[in-house]
A and B are shown apart, each in its own frame.
Chain A
């Protein structure tokens, strides 16, 4: 539910409670000058983890350098990384814990990243709703997006930042690429300060209209990475959500080496144009084609927007197939049940795979013979066609269908 502002630097609260809340908690921290740390706990899992929760709250406050406080926790089965985040956020709102963090235990991260990895589906996870995090990877999305922007209310930006940071560290997202959608600049820089140390694989930058916005984010990441000696790659995916953004697509695409893909936000884009958003998308066709062209021109992936109607799987399948035909390599995803439909839509058909395998075989045969001409039957196969076939086979193998 709602959270209070900091009151005279002495009291802070964070998190949510209420009968519909699950896997989250509400924390109130009242700083005091003596008396140690007193924890009052009301938890639906009190019989199972009451002692552990009390001990954890003590430990988090120690990490944050708070020696005296009265803490009230109303818990609905929040996992440890969530409790830690809510306590830390409450302490910060009370005006303490400056410059300190309480980091949860690090999970093993199996998901890898690569510049050109599969990005068929990117599952959006609202950054203020921890209950969706822990099983997200099990549904097999190519990526998860911990969102700090549009799905997080203005009053929860600070608390969600800490929650997302903890999630990046403590939650096992399986084979998925770990992405974070930061807020527009300048707030986005605060987001980066908090999450970059946990090395997300990719940062989504919303509402990009100029190359310099990308450069600013790139530089902020580089500074943090250098300061902390972080070595893993961190990519960027600018989201174009306005006419101006689409106009500047190529400049944005080439603004930084970190950029691996371009994507589009159709809600904001159609609003910018002043048109209705339809399920067949004629109104945004130009923007999407322009995006594909700019992305491919810069050697990047073109990624499509989300399909908002979770109940319409047929509509989703059609959209996905059309997107693939236009040159998109994936799209956004707002519900786990959309994932298999999207993966199917972006998969090459058996016929396409068979044809591509033949072309690749012909190419390899020509290579072995030392000839420059690749032929299949009576047809000559141009180099770009060979290249496309090689890429298709590679993608199909990554998808496990060839």
Chain B
């Protein structure tokens, strides 16, 4: 890496991981243990503005995004942010960066809430020096680029809640926030539930709209004032751009969600639902969180059957909303859907029409530097992982070869649920998922309660209450070491350790902004 500084000092943090003390030129705090760090100081505060500097008629439209960026004073070294509610159908984030290139701007920090394959061309912009580094999840080609040490700055991986915390605490200062909005009015009020590019909520752009120096809203569905409902407040917006299209609708949300048909995954999903039933976590007024696909969604199908049988109603369910959650809401199996991100058209429709389907934001759901959040109030959450080790530590960001693979999403924030369940196959093709030690620490084992695999259920010894609750049941509860031994036998031994150098290319932050682990450059 050109200028990351090979002489970065490393310290061992509370989970025994070596982490740098400076990241992108900023002093960092090494992870001191779960709930040990206390922030100090005040929240970030944008400058005070005056109506006198804004159009009195509320019409903030400018001809195009290029004009808006120029008027925002886009300059070298700035931080440009974007959200990922348009998923792999997004056009706006890349366009903003490409326009910066056309203006000859250099050394930008791109701060997306997540990136997708459609953002692969950012690699060219990094090669050209337009983008200095990315702080946000880096999928596929972007992750590989970073893993091979080609990015000039350090990558920083944060959870959804952690990104809010970073903006709120002033850890990351956003110069220009570019907000793609499926519907907006000329004064900048915007929502994601209406318009041809509807995506559901816009929560990932909320902090950007409140704290960034300049805010640009780009929409392909301009409506006369007022845009109702508004999730982004026009009072925080500087410029509005009307575009022909902000993204490819077919890639923004899926037409419909299909539960996995894989018998192995369905078996694990059924075991998860049985676990919730047997332990009594499933009871009247309980709450849970479901994912968008795979096992983390499939268990919902079994659980709703058990809920119907037992006459149980959930108080709320957190999503990733999909048609399955919407069906349950309409059937009366829960009082509310508290939604962070909408994955299909049924979810979008429901959010737009059903008063019990509530839009939340990373502030209400996940932010750790506040007076509580929703995620910690959820009774049970079902998550995936790339690896889990015998101490129940979890990894979601790299594979066992150390290469960057995923972002964190809300995964870390969800670990604070009453019962955190990782539901995953014990090995994928010939790659063990249950390992001796996770390649990258993304979540400490003390917060991970249960691991459900096709070969059995492992319960964290810290949870004597859960161990007691499953006694005498037919559930295949086993020590996690035993599952790992079985996997190693099937795969023909322990896997080789990842071949990594001692050069940090990125860091993983914990929900409180402290540094949990390091991503090392991979050997060629």
List residues of chain A with CB under 8 Å of any chain B CB: 22-23, 44-45, 47-52, 56, 76-80, 134-135, 138-139, 335-337
Contacts and interface: CB of A to CB of B under 8 A. Distances in A.
A49 B429 contact: no
9 nearest CB pairs, A to B: A77-B429, A48-B495, A336-B263, A47-B401, A80-B492, A77-B430, A45-B430, A135-B264, A138-B454
Given A47-B496, A48-B400, A48-B495, A134 B430 contact: no
B358 interface: no
Contacts of A44: 429
Nearest to B453: A138
Nearest to A22: B429
B283 interface: no
A45 B401 CA distance: 9
B490 interface: yes
B454 A48 contact: no
Contacts of A139: 263, 267
Contact of A23 (B400, B429, B455, B499): B429
A335 B263 contact: yes
A135 B486 CA distance: 12
B492 A52 contact: yes
Contacts of A50: 496
Most chain A CB inside 10 Å of its own CB: which residue of B490, B493, B499: B490
B34 interface: no
Contacts of B432: 48
Nearest to A170: B490
Contacts of A135: 264, 454
Given A45-B430, A51-B496, A134-B490, 18 more contacts: A22-B429, A44-B429, A45-B429, A45-B495, A47-B400, A48-B400, A48-B432, A52-B492, A76-B429, A77-B428, A79-B430, A79-B490, A135-B454, A138-B264, A138-B267, A138-B454, A138-B455, A335-B263
Interface of B: 263-264, 266-267, 400-401, 428-432, 454-455, 490-493, 495-496, 498-499
Given A48-B401, A50-B496, A52-B492, A78 B263 contact: no
A337 B298 CA distance: 14
Nearest to B522: A47
B367 to A, nearest CB: 37
A313 to B, nearest CB: 13
Given A79-B490, A79-B492, A335-B263, A48 B431 contact: yes
Nearest to A134: B490
Contacts of A56: 492
Contact of B496 (A49, A76, A77): A49
Contacts of A77: 428-431
A48 B264 contact: no
B330 to A, nearest CB: 24
10 contacts: A22-B429, A45-B431, A47-B499, A48-B496, A49-B491, A49-B496, A52-B496, A56-B492, A79-B490, A335-B263
A56 B491 CA distance: 13
Contacts of A52: 492-493, 496
A79 B489 CA distance: 10
B267 A49 contact: no
A50 B267 CA distance: 31
B501 to A, nearest CB: 14
A110 to B, nearest CB: 13
B402 to A, nearest CB: 8
Contacts of B429: 22-23, 44-45, 76-77
Most chain B CB inside 10 Å of its own CB: which residue of A48, A78, A135, A138: A48
Contacts of B492: 49, 52, 56, 79-80
Contact of B495 (A23, A49, A79, A138): A49
Nearest to A78: B430
Contacts of B401: 47-48
B404 to A, nearest CB: 14
Contacts of B264: 135, 138
Contacts of B498: 47
Nearest to A48: B495
Most chain A CB inside 10 Å of its own CB: which residue of B401, B429, B490, B496: B429
Most chain A CB inside 10 Å of its own CB: which residue of B263, B401, B428, B499: B263
Contacts of B455: 138
Contacts of B454: 135, 138
Contacts of A78: 430
A56 B266 CA distance: 33
Contacts of A23: 429-430
Nearest to B499: A47
Most chain A CB inside 10 Å of its own CB: which residue of B432, B454, B492, B495: B492
A56 B400 CA distance: 22
Given A79-B490, A135-B454, A48 B430 contact: yes
Contacts of B263: 139, 335-337
Contacts of B491: 49, 79-80
A138 B426 CA distance: 13
A131 to B, nearest CB: 8
A23 B431 CA distance: 10
A22 B427 CA distance: 13
A144 to B, nearest CB: 13
A116 to B, nearest CB: 26
A336 B268 CA distance: 13
A48 B435 CA distance: 12
A67 B407 CA distance: 48
Contacts of B266: 337
Contacts of A134: 490
A48 B267 CA distance: 27
A335 B262 CA distance: 10
Contacts of B496: 47-52
A139 B264 CA distance: 8
A337 B429 CA distance: 21
Contacts of B430: 23, 45, 48-49, 77-79
A155 B18 CA distance: 54
A61 B428 CA distance: 28
A184 B225 CA distance: 78
B270 to A, nearest CB: 9
Contacts of A337: 263, 266
Nearest to B428: A77
Nearest to A53: B492
A298 B215 CA distance: 84
A136 to B, nearest CB: 10
Nearest to A336: B263
